Amino acid sequence: MSRLRPHIRATLALALPLVGSHLAQITIGATDTIMVGWYGAPELAAVSMGAAYFHVVLILGQGFGLAVMPLAAAAAAARAARRVRRVTRMGLWIAAIFGVLSLPLFLFSERILLAAGQTAELSVMAADYLRIAGAGIVFAALTVTLRSHLAALGRTRIVLWSTLAGFVLNVALNWVLIFGNAGAPEMGLAGAALASVATHGVICVILAVYAARARGLKRFRLFARFWRPDGEVLSEVFRLGWPISLTLLAESGLFMASLVMMGWIGTRELAAHGIAIQIASITFMVHIGLSSAATVRAGRAWGAGDAEALRLGAVAAIVLSGAMVLATVAAFLGVPGALIGLFLDPADPARAEIVALGTAFLAVAALFQLADAAQVMALGLLRGVQDTRVPMVLAVMAYWVVGVPAGYLLGFPLGFGGPGIWMGLVIGLALAGGTMMARFWMRAGGPPRAPLPGNPRRPALPRTGGG
């Protein structure tokens, strides 16, 4: 245990600001929903659809930014400042190119939503929102890359503070632009879209300025000769990143499929499902932060050729994630009614039925948390050792060949309804987590070897610090 304790402390130092950042990001989305909901129900539906659409597009490009994290961490461990710069710079190039190429998806979103079976009224309103909000996709994609760069260098506090600054700005701009306060014109949906673009832009600028100017980071000269192409590294980031994007898309698709199937059962089941998923998503942010920290520490150990640090760092991250799972399971099984009730009007006549349904879902979610934590931690560790293609295949197989069919079979032919659909999620996530964990330990196991693949040098790991 004494050997593990420093790794637990180092993982926490990296992870806690990232957890806070992810929670703040969820709060930004929740605030948008609440404030637009005050403006009007049709506008709320349009923003909800628009936000989901934006998120799916961002997922397609997010993998390239996330690929920067293990590559930059490995380079930092090898004291290779020039390579850190090359990797991040080409990650920013890909993010910018992706953002520009994806703009037509927002400009022609009305046609796409109509083709997807949405009503004409919703499609028009959501497209009005997306034509403006879509401009933020460039900033959002660049932000993912900058966060990865800073996390790889142990500067995670600035990620938290920039997100909190974005939250404050988003609330203020929503209040001014949606409702026409402080002398501004009342813009409704267009105001919410402009606030979203400004929020993404400010977070991106804060991170870029910090990465370029902060003490200890100037030596990386991140934006020096930024215009110069680097085909070799660009190709490397692209090859590592596209499987990450497809893995994220496959996982998001699993949850979307469960949402669609739940809608086949009934409105109240869908409402209870949505609440339970929201609760599980909030607790899941802890595991995402730990997973990112695991990626950085595994990347550093991989780059330094330190097999023992790789294994101990992985154990530390898994232990911390497991502790969170135990706390979550206790809450889900101990006070499910209180958790579900937070999302419901006490006067709602359907409250009792929705609480009962949600309680059943949270009981399954206790298993769900364990499976979901295992798969996201395994993905983080595998990214750290620059292994993304096989995990992508494992994820697609687990989620879509096993998880979705299992949810349908248990929910409908076997008659278990909503809990059966949730059991399908558990089965798919558990299979993904189990196979990916086995793959990581196959790569990390065995006697220490120097160096590990990917770097000919083996210096000591750099100290993990805050930002």
Residue pLDDT, tens place only, 142-174: 999 999 999 999 999 999 999 999 999 999 999
pLDDT of residue 456: 43
What distance in Å separates the CA atoms of residue 145 and residue 159, rounded to the nearest whole number? 12
The DSSP call for residue 228 is S
Q: How confident is the model at residue 25 (pLDDT cuts 50, 70, 90)?
A: confident
What distance in Å separates the CA atoms of residue 169 and residue 197, rounded to the nearest whole number? 11
Decide if pLDDT at 262 tops 90.
no
pLDDT of residue 209: 96
Decide if pLDDT at 87 tops 50.
yes
Decide if pLDDT at 405 tops 70.
yes
pLDDT of residue 448: 37
Q: How confident is the model at residue 440 (pLDDT cuts 50, 70, 90)?
A: very high
Return the HEC string of 398-459.
Answer: HHHHHHHHHHHHHHCCCCCHHHHHHHHHHHHHHHHHHHHHHHHHHHHCCCCCCCCCCCCCCC
pLDDT of residue 343: 66
What's phi and psi for 93, nearest 5 deg? -60, -50
pTM: 0.85
pLDDT of residue 61: 92
Decide if pLDDT at 210 tops 80.
yes
The DSSP call for residue 227 is T
The DSSP call for residue 452 is P
pLDDT of residue 342: 73
3-class state of residue 4 by DSSP: coil
What distance in Å separates the CA atoms of residue 74 and residue 461, rounded to the nearest whole number? 10
Measured CA to CA in angstroms, residue 191 lies from 46, 246, 267, 355 at distances of 13, 32, 31, 35
Decide if pLDDT at 193 tops 80.
yes
- 383-400, pLDDT tens digit by residue? 999 999 999 999 999 999
Higher pLDDT, 438 or 274: 438
pLDDT of residue 280: 81
pLDDT of residue 467: 40
pLDDT of residue 267: 66
